[in-house]
Structure 1
Amino acid sequence: MSQNTHLKNMINKIKDFLNSNQAEVDRQENVKKSNKQYTVVMYIFFFMFLCLMGYFLYFQMVAREKYVNSPYNSLQNVMAEHVDKGKILTNDGRVLAETQISNDGTRKRVYPYNNLFAHVVGYDTHGKAGLENKENIKLTTSHDVMFTQLYNEVTQKKNKGDNIITTLDYDIQKVAYEGLGKFDGAVIVIQPSTGKVLSIVSKPDFNPNLIDENWKQLISSTDSVLYNRATQGKYTPGSVFKIFTTLEYYNENKSTYKDFKYRCRGGEAASNGYILHDAGNEKHGLVNLKTAFAESCNSAYAHIAKSLDAKGFTALCDSLLFGKDLPLNLETSKSKFSFNDNDSDFIKMSTGIGQGKTLVSPLHMALVACAIDNNGILMKPYLVDKVQNANGDTISETKPKKYKELLEQNQSGIMQEYMEEVVKEGTATRLKGQSYKCFGKTGTAQIADSDDTTNAWFVGYGKKEGYEDIAVAVVVEKSGYGSKYAIPVAKKIFDKYFNTKN
């Protein structure tokens, strides 16, 4: 009996031991599961921390100026309470904008050249525009001597904001502005090898010194006076668009493009019977691709457009900045292009010669000209050369930087050759025989189906030994042929730059 009892006790102890071991195993498994869950949670929080830090760094290094420079950011008013906004100057030190302080302490932003730099420099009341807007954070930041800043804080005086030395050239700006004369339109001048913007002109214009007095009139104007046509304008390109049509034809016919032949009889018929005419119904006779480009033969390019691959053409234009934000720190617009397989022949023909639904800005066309001249490489355009403190010490300096390879060298080489032919034998012979060498494309863009009103275009570049090349885009609104109205403006700019400037 006692042995049975002892045996039962032994069995129960063994069971208890096994049960306790299983409980310990279960406990350790639960601990492991808990540890895994804690680890997962820890990694999630660590990842969220990294994301937060990444966004913080992105904001500080990339997006800060965009948000701080918003004209609706109240932080700007706080900064303005402690800093007198710095000056904006040309590349040779002429003051374009400065803060004047009257005897009673009243501060006013003044613009010594009135309308001349209106759109590019902008204004500082009723919101902000131009460089006054985009570079506001630099202008309202002070890097003055630390002792001076401390003294001003103690004596409750404002510090002097940093000054901006722009790439803008007074002489080029003046000749471009005067070149447009009584016409509305736009001009932009850029150095292709550096990206420096030398001139931005837009008409109609305004006097930024009189913004307060004329504000209601300006915002109600049907002429969109405050609109910077050079960077924001959306223009029908007319024949300057043949640059893109030529490139697409070349892409699709690299081995045979030189064999292209077409007999121009003054018009090209669509399948529905509509005829797209050459300007003045001119008959160019037998042309190849180069002479068709040089003489701006609408019939030949309408014929070409009917055969182009829609996907390829769209891809080309996408790669050449259509539908893209343009890389200039100023208010800009996106160019538009549409070319589809299901478009009618007439729509395709119209698009191929720069009519149709295509819209471009002068800035966009100037950038394309820059890339052509620079063997396909587009340098990032910029307007701020240096930032200096009130004592003239350089705080920062912009270095030329590659933005993108827009064209392969063989593509840019073709366009260089063709744009040279335009000046030698085509529609821009007024630029032939100068002390400098010019390359370009003219355009005459019909702006309404109801009448023959046209905008005149010139897009091109010039070069001379010992000088940096310059690219120019000119639009003269409601004027006439590009060869008659836009080329004279461009020629005045080339003459001033290459003949009178070092």
Structure 2
Amino acid sequence: MTRHIRHAGLFCALLLVALLVNAARVQVLRADAYESSPANRRDAIARYQQPRGDILVGGRPVTGSRDTREHLRYERTYLDGPLYAPVTGFASQEYGTTLLEHTEDDLLSGTAPVLAPLPLWNEFTRSRNAGGKVMTTIDPAAQRAAYEGLRSRKGAVAAVEPSTGRILALVSVPSYDPGLLSGNGRTAREAWAGLNADPDRPMLNRAVQRTYPPGSTFKVVTAAAALDAGTVGELDEPTDSPAPYTLPGTTTRLTNGSRGCADASLREAFIHSCNTVFARLGVTTGVARMRATAENFGFNRSDLRIPFPVARSTFDTSVDRAQLALSSIGQYNTRATPLQMAMVAAAVAGGGQVREPYLVERTTRAGGGTVSAAGSRPVRRAMHPATAMRLRELMRGVVEDGTGTKAAIPGAVVGGKTGTAQHGLGNSGTPYAWFISWAQHEEDMEPKVAVAVVVEDAAANRREISGGGTAAPIARAVMEAVLKS
């Protein structure tokens, strides 16, 4: 009898060992496979079991959470969703996260280790901290002015503070309501399908994710390169530029949209946006110096993040002299995001220095304790300070006496540069209307805001499209909003 009991006990022990071995296999060796299995909803249920932390603009939350009382309990909500979508992105139970909702996801969802009261605390307790808050640099008045300025026209606006790099406005139109994607039901799926099928691509953040030929606004970069290199001396000296200008090594003749460009001075050429003068200046300055100056402004960078990635603005360096001439007036392969062109204006306004742009001022715990702060940003020199002073003078001339008079603000000093960028096969596409600018109160020591505006479908009549007529009033509204606030 004892022998049978002993055998039964041994068999039970073997079963127990087998259970322990299998449990170890499941929980250790197969843990990753089970955790990543689509059938495992425990992580998703835990993730949405509590409200998500908020994104703030001007100290006010523009996001929230709605209690659905379902397994995935809390859904994201948005205040003025289309207005702030280029900043927040979306947080969807079905389609994941984008933009700030993505880059700050650990903090907003409460999973960031820095939110735990003690190291590894959450690993042992299996608890989740309350989501933190993300405070942005966006100026709500500037954001709304940019959005309402574009209205139903496709385009984008970026505005920065030259002295710090703080992004004050980031607008893309057409936009969308990210709240429609928050859930996981039929409404979210239908909204997702509709947004992806829309040929206008409303979920594309045109301010940072799309590049455009910058057209004549790039002449600021060309002028900076020419002045730094000594290609041109005084602003009022004749430049010995023919009009029309035959592109080197070709029979193609480059013309101007205005008269009086033959042998025009740099000041006249800048105010009247003479293609022939700047094309020749680019060729004379040379590709090496043009490249160096463009890259000092931020072109050809692929690592810019604000904190989400910004598309690479490009200045092609594998060009012949004819292509360099076109590149120097913002055509050929030269392409830029609106944020990059706002940085160009900010460099002029900032005395030749460019500060890294950023969108997040501070992150905090749910109770308000600071997790991280922006601090000082890296600075690089785009041009000599004396060159920046001359370019500020030239840009003021554009607003006071040239093509950008619609950007003028009473009681303020404003500088700007217009641009009309050709694109498409044989330049058959509707031109893009550009305007870049900066502004300061007359009594201020330095500019408070730099803006870039691009409008894709400015007008049905190509002859009526211009940066000064279409984009400049939008820039003015944004600058006014910042100066007033």
Matches within 5 A, 1:429-444: 429-432=405-408, 434-444=410-420
2:84 is matched with which residue?
A: 117
Distance 1:386 1:231, change over 3 A: same
The aligned amino acid for 1:113 is D
1:140 is matched with which residue?
A: 109
1:199 is matched with which residue?
A: 169
Distance 1:159 1:248, change over 3 A: closer
Q: 2:339 aligns with which of 363, 366, 378?
A: 363
Output the CA distance in 1 between the equivalents of 2:226 and 2:429.
Answer: 29
2:150 is matched with which residue?
A: 180
Output the CA distance in 1 between the equivalents of 2:57 and 2:228.
Answer: 42
Distance 1:425 1:468, change over 3 A: closer
Output the CA distance in 1 between the equivalents of 2:203 and 2:428.
Answer: 27
The answer on whether the counterparts of 2:282 and 2:290 sit within 8 Å (CA) in structure 1 is no
The aligned amino acid for 1:368 is V
Q: What's the CA shift for 1:89? A: 1.0
Distance 1:336 1:79, change over 3 A: farther
Q: Which digits, 9 at most, give the CA deviation of each residue in 1:147-187, with x for residues without a partner?
A: 9xx99x98x98642111111112221111001002210100
Q: 1:278 aligns with which of 230, 248, 256?
A: 256
1:484 is matched with which residue?
A: 469
1:51 is matched with which residue?
A: none
Q: 1:315 aligns with which of 287, 292, 311?
A: 292
The aligned amino acid for 2:297 is L
- Structure 2: gaps of 5 or more residues: 1-40, 182-187, 459-464
Partner-residue secondary structure (3-state), 2:420: strand
Q: What's the CA shift for 1:81? A: 6.0
Q: What's the CA shift for 1:484? A: 0.4
Partner-residue secondary structure (3-state), 2:452: strand
The answer on whether the counterparts of 2:283 and 2:321 sit within 8 Å (CA) in structure 1 is no
Q: Which digits, 9 at most, give the CA deviation of each residue in 1:285-312, with x for residues without a partner?
A: 5521122112111122223233231222
Q: What's the CA shift for 1:262? A: 4.5
Partner-residue secondary structure (3-state), 1:447: coil
Q: Which moved more, 1:288-297 or 1:405-414?
A: 405-414
The aligned amino acid for 2:245 is E
The aligned amino acid for 2:220 is I
Partner-residue secondary structure (3-state), 1:200: strand
Output the CA distance in 1 between the equivalents of 2:382 and 2:230.
Answer: 19
Partner-residue secondary structure (3-state), 1:223: coil
1:25 is matched with which residue?
A: none
Distance 1:265 1:323, change over 3 A: closer
Q: Which digits, 9 at most, give the CA deviation of each residue in 1:448-491, with x for residues without a partner?
A: 22526211111121111469601101001131200000001011
Distance 1:374 1:450, change over 3 A: closer
The answer on whether the counterparts of 2:406 and 2:469 sit within 8 Å (CA) in structure 1 is no
The answer on whether the counterparts of 2:448 and 2:483 sit within 8 Å (CA) in structure 1 is no
Q: How many residues align?
A: 420
Partner-residue secondary structure (3-state), 1:486: helix
Q: What's the CA shift for 1:255? A: 7.2
Q: Which digits, 9 at most, give the CA deviation of each residue in 1:8-67, with x for residues without a partner?
A: xxxxxxxxxxxxxxxxxxxxxxxxxxxxxxxxxxxxxxxxxxxxxxxxxxxxxxxxxxxx
Q: What's the CA shift for 1:398? A: 2.0
TM-score normalised by the chain length of structure 1: 0.76
Matches within 5 A, 1:68-83: 80=47
Partner-residue secondary structure (3-state), 2:82: coil
Output the CA distance in 1 between the equivalents of 2:447 and 2:280.
Answer: 38
Partner-residue secondary structure (3-state), 2:169: strand
Q: Which digits, 9 at most, give the CA deviation of each residue in 1:241-274, with x for residues without a partner?
A: 1011112222332673547414778632235332
Matches within 5 A, 1:90-169: 90-93=57-60, 95-103=61-69, 106-125=73-92, 126-141=95-110, 159-169=129-139
Distance 1:77 1:197, change over 3 A: farther
1:294 is matched with which residue?
A: 271
2:436 is matched with which residue?
A: 459
- Structure 1: gaps of 5 or more residues: 1-73
The two structures, once aligned, show a CA RMSD in angstroms of 3.0
Output the CA distance in 1 between the equivalents of 2:234 and 2:105.
Answer: 50
Output the CA distance in 2 between the equivalents of 1:490 and 1:476.
Answer: 11
2:16 is matched with which residue?
A: none
Q: What's the CA shift for 1:233? A: 1.2
Q: 2:220 aligns with which of 243, 248, 253?
A: 243
Partner-residue secondary structure (3-state), 1:229: coil
TM-score normalised by the chain length of structure 2: 0.79
Q: 2:54 aligns with which of 64, 67, 87?
A: 87
Partner-residue secondary structure (3-state), 2:450: strand
Q: What's the CA shift for 1:409? A: 1.4
| Larger helix proportion of the pair | 1
Output the CA distance in 2 between the equivalents of 1:76 and 1:338.
Answer: 47
Output the CA distance in 2 between the equivalents of 1:396 and 1:310.
Answer: 42
Distance 1:76 1:120, change over 3 A: farther
The aligned amino acid for 1:128 is T
Q: Which moved more, 1:322-331 or 1:259-268?
A: 259-268
1:469 is matched with which residue?
A: 448
The aligned amino acid for 1:267 is P
The answer on whether the counterparts of 2:297 and 2:343 sit within 8 Å (CA) in structure 1 is no
Q: What's the CA shift for 1:75? A: 12
Distance 1:385 1:344, change over 3 A: closer
Output the CA distance in 2 between the equivalents of 1:259 and 1:130.
Answer: 46
The aligned amino acid for 1:372 is V
Q: Does 1:416 align with 2:392?
A: yes
Q: Which moved more, 1:158-167 or 1:475-484?
A: 158-167
Output the CA distance in 1 between the equivalents of 2:254 and 2:67.
Answer: 62
Partner-residue secondary structure (3-state), 1:485: helix
Distance 1:377 1:264, change over 3 A: closer
The answer on whether the counterparts of 1:266 and 1:282 sit within 8 Å (CA) in structure 2 is no
The answer on whether the counterparts of 1:438 and 1:460 sit within 8 Å (CA) in structure 2 is yes
1:376 is matched with which residue?
A: 352
The answer on whether the counterparts of 1:444 and 1:482 sit within 8 Å (CA) in structure 2 is yes
2:362 is matched with which residue?
A: 386
Output the CA distance in 1 between the equivalents of 2:221 and 2:43.
Answer: 43
Q: What's the CA shift for 1:132? A: 0.2
Q: What's the CA shift for 1:119? A: 1.8
Output the CA distance in 2 between the equivalents of 1:258 and 1:75.
Answer: 68
Instruction: Flag the structure with larger Rg.
Output: 1
Q: 2:309 aligns with which of 328, 331, 344?
A: 331
Matches within 5 A, 1:394-413: 394-413=370-389
The answer on whether the counterparts of 2:210 and 2:337 sit within 8 Å (CA) in structure 1 is yes
Q: Which digits, 9 at most, give the CA deviation of each residue in 1:399-445, with x for residues without a partner?
A: 23233233331232222222122222221122335221111111110
